[in-house]
Structure 1
Amino acid sequence: MRQPPAPKRVGRVRLPRRGAALSIVCSAALVLGSTVFAASQFTTQLADDFDTNREVVETGINQETAAFDDGEMNILVLGSDAREDEESEEQRSDTMMLVHVPESREEMYVMSIMRDLWVEIPDVGMSKINSAQTYGGYPLTIKTIEGLTGAEIDHMVVIDFDGFRDLTTALGGVEIDNDMAFSAGQVNPSYYPEGKIRLEGTDALRFVRERKAFIDGDYQRVKNQQKFLTGIATGVLDSATLTNPTKISGMVSAFTPYLTVDESLDAETLVNYGLSMNKLRPSAITSFTIPNTGTGTTPGGASVVWPDEESLIEMRTAMDEGTMAEFVEELEARLEQERTEGTGAPTEEAPLEEAPVTPEDTVL
């Protein structure tokens, strides 16, 4: 089926940002796991704490292929905030990122997936990508993202944002460069001025959750989450942190209880990954959003983000052939041209047969 005329874009399509993906090292527990464990003199105790306090869930990931090896690596990172508090349900954050590390382990690509991306959910139909969790839990979420990206996922990490809140306190705050001033929170709201700010505790949690304060909503929230995680990674990687056993122990204790992982992702695996990526440098890390053509409405009335099918095909090919650097460079140039000219790639029609409606307060 062909689609109605392409919907008008809302806000801006974010360009790939090189270096920002250092954030994912932390969010995937590759900093708290790999870097901290591998660099610390107290690896055994930290590893015991990690393996004892993490929550393990069934994911359907092939345990044989997920075992540590020297091939390429794909880790799905889901960020959630499912606690009940003062904030409205619409403000709850759910973040989806796919971390792709080529076989050389000298590059890293972090792909943010918009939660309202309109995709095919296996055995369900067309729906927003984050509804896969409601229909079939983590196994269906993984299967859906594998179908979207063409990547075989080796591991999954789910991080409750409460963990980030407590981690910022353990770090003594996280410094970021805020793009624009805004407020967040319905009760005793937090204010975030433009420029360099230091985040800690509830203020940090609100910063990564807020979207209603921005014209482009989730696009800006994704960017803020990347900035926040980059700030955490910077704090964790600081030499003053890595040489401070008390601080390291405090971070692991604060973070691990909020971590859910697949069956095979333990401390030993994290250490092995960290050691295998010892040549990875920030300049070789790239962060970008899964290609999309903007926002619109399905025939059934759902507000969604349209995937850029043509670019997704190119991305799958690039991952298979080890040419992600070239793909990202071309994508960046194309998006910049579209932004300058005010044009966008044509989108395909959303199928008229949509998946059943899911609860509005569903989060990953």
Structure 2
Amino acid sequence: MGISPEPAAAAGSAAAPGGMNRRRTIAIAVIAGLVVLAVVVAAFLLNRPRTETAAPVETSAPAPETTPPVTPEPTPTPTPDPPPTALNILLIGSDSRVNDRAVAASGGTSDQRGDALVFVHLPADRQSVYGISLMRDLWVDIPGYGGGKVNAGLELGGVPLMTQTVEALLGQHIDHTVMADFQGFAAMTDALGGVDVDIKRPFQGTIDDFVNFPPGVNRLNGSQALAFVRERKAFADGDYQRVRNQQTFIKALMAKMAAEGGLSDRNTVKQLVATVLPHVTVDPGLTVETLERLAFSLRSTAPGSGVFFTLPTAGVGTTTSGQSVIWQNPAATAAVSAALSSGTLADYVAANGLQNGN
């Protein structure tokens, strides 16, 4: 089912404040961050030198030996790679520019917030991939600063503090952090020829081209995909539905890559890399060797096995200082933390009916 763009706003209408536009656009950045690992891994594997085996050369029969043959030394048995362990990756979506990203990566303060946050968990058996979205206004304890919205960690102390804040919230060590901006998102979607998204909750967009999203499967190009994952004012529950739409698009994007070999074609990969990587900052530990091991460990992960859900909350409220926030659900957060620690997140997902990304 197609997309029907509505007429643009009339000339002379008031433009949204800059801060509001920034908040609307920040949230989609994490999607580029989520696929960047796959893009980087594919780029490495597709561009690594190939070892060609030369055809055997025919030779004349060997002359009779006049000396005893030398017994070759036995070839040492290679040491196998250790089995994969569970891995946690924090994806941060930010409106950061290149210079701002450098400041944030070093732990400095800057005028940016992590307004899209996804905690990605890869279990040791690599049979699935879990993405846990964190609401940007979730009220948490920021180490060294006290209570605050979770997304303020990036502004106050850069990537290190943002990482520490999520670690404290979930009681989990984060192995790697990836921060991305949204500027390459539309071009990446277009490079894949658009993405088919099954829209369960139709809506009329309220920003940019005021795109109409009817129910059913919609082929979204880059600009339409941006509108889809940015929208929040069209929904009574605002950011909650926006997060669900982001998760829907992520799964659709990953499904297309898996089904159509989006990361097996060298030209497509090169285009994706050129589009995404200039907008991404990774921690120093995410080296080529680390990516190679990660790619190898995911070799048996079935396509479409990703599960995405939002960390349960206790609803919206207002602090004593007048801030509009989302309250934590301590019992639910503790249950997620325990499932992560014990390697039973699949059981938690099944018990709470989260297979479809609720």
- TM-score > 0.5 by shorter chain: yes
Contact 1:79–1:161, Cα closer than 8 Å, also in 2: yes
Task: Report how far residue 188 of structure 1 moved.
Answer: 3.5
Q: 2: CA distance between counterparts of 1:106 and 1:311?
A: 24
Change in CA separation of 1:119 and 1:242 when aligned onto 2, cut-off 3 Å: closer
1:79–1:95 Cα contact (<8 Å) kept = yes
Find the aligned partners of 1:326 and 1:187 in 2 and give their Cα distance: 41
Matched, 1:120 2:141: yes
Is 1:93–1:208's contact at 8 Å kept on the other side of the alignment? no
Q: Which residue of 2 aligns with 1:51?
A: none
Partner of 1:207 in structure 2? 228
Residue matched to 1:345: none
State the partner residue of 2:40: 33
1:6-41 per-residue CA deviation (whole Å, 9 max, x = no partner) reads xxxxxxxxxxxxxxxxx9797152321235544x3x
Q: 1:157 to 1:293 in 2, by over 3 A?
A: same
The aligned residue for residue 64 of structure 2 is: none
| Root-mean-square deviation (Å) | 2.8
Report the CA distance shift for 1:43/1:26 in structure 2 as closer, same or farther (over 3 A): farther
Within the candidate set 68, 74, 77, 2:88 is matched to: 74
Cα distance in 2, alignment partners of residues 69 and 29 from structure 1:
24
| Aligned equivalent of 2:105 | none
Residue 98 of structure 1 corresponds to 119
What is the 5 A alignment of 1:1-364? Answer: 27-35=34-42, 37-38=44-45, 40=46, 42-43=47-48, 70-81=84-95, 94-184=115-205, 186-282=207-303, 284-332=305-353
The residue type paired with residue 94 of structure 2 is S
- What CA deviation, in whole Å up to 9, does each residue of 1:285-332 have, x standing for no partner? 322111212222222222111111012222222222212122223333
Indicate if the aligned counterparts of 2:43 and 2:269 stay in contact, CA closer than 8 A.
yes
Letter in 2 for 1:178: I
Instruction: Indicate the SS of the match to 1:180.
Output: coil
Deviations 1:240-284 (A, max 9, x none): 534432222111111111111111213432222011122222465
Hey, what does 1:336 align to over in structure 2? none
Q: Deviations over 1:313-364 (max 9, x none)?
A: 222222222121222233338xxxxx9xxxxxxxxxxxxxxxxxxxxxxxxx
| SS, match of residue 196 in structure 1 | strand
Provide structure 2 residue ranges, at least 5 long, that are not aligned to the other structure: 1-29, 51-81, 98-112
The question of whether the paired residues in 2 share the 8 Å contact of 1:96 and 1:113 is answered with yes
8 Å contact from structure 2 (residues 232, 241) kept in 1: yes
Greater fraction helix: 1
Instruction: Return closer, same or farther for 1:286/1:312 CA change in 2, 3 Å cut-off.
Output: same
Shift of 1:146: 0.2
Inter-CA distance 119–287: structure 2 relative to 1 (3 Å threshold)? same
Identity %: 38
Matches of 2:42 and 2:180 in 1, distance apart? 18
Counterpart residue number, 1:9? none
- Tell me: CA distance 1:267–1:185, structure 2 relative to 1, closer, same or farther (3 Å): farther
Q: Say if 1:184 and 1:44 are closer, same or farther in 2 by CA, change over 3 A.
A: farther
Match of 2:41, SS state, is: helix
Shift of 1:131: 0.9
Aligned-pair CA distance for 1:77: 0.6
Partner Cα distance (1:24, 1:188) in 2 = 21
Of structures 1 and 2, the larger Rg is shown by: 2
Q: TM-score, normalised by structure 2?
A: 0.71
Distance 1:198 1:44 in 2: 36
Shift of 1:183: 3.2
> Structure 1 315/181 Cα, relative in aligned 2: closer, same or farther at 3 Å?
closer
Letter matched to residue 118 of structure 2: M
Preserved contact between residue 32 and residue 182 of structure 2 (Cα < 8 Å) = no
Deviates more, 1:211-220 or 1:299-308: 299-308
Judge conservation of contact 2:43–2:273 (CA < 8 Å) in 1: no
Alignment partners' CA distance in 2, 1:79 and 1:210 = 16
CA contact (8 A) 1:115 1:129 kept: yes
| Residues in 2 aligned to 1:93 and 1:71: alpha-carbon distance in whole angstroms | 27
The 8 Å contact of residues 255 and 304 in structure 2, kept in 1 or not, is answered as no
Residue type at the aligned position of 2:346 = A
Distance change in 2, residues 1:81/1:236 (3 Å): farther
Equivalent AA in structure 1 for residue 325 of structure 2: V
Q: Would you say the 8 A contact 2:151–2:162 is kept in 1?
A: yes
Report the count of equivalent residues.
Answer: 280
State the secondary structure of the residue aligned to 2:151.
Answer: helix
Q: What is the deviation of 1:69?
A: 7.5
Tell me the distance in 2 between the aligned counterparts of 1:44 and 1:219: 46
Distance in 1, matches of 2:84 and 2:264, equals 29
Partner AA of 2:93 in structure 1 = G
Cα distance, 1:207–1:24 mapped onto 2, change above 3 Å = closer
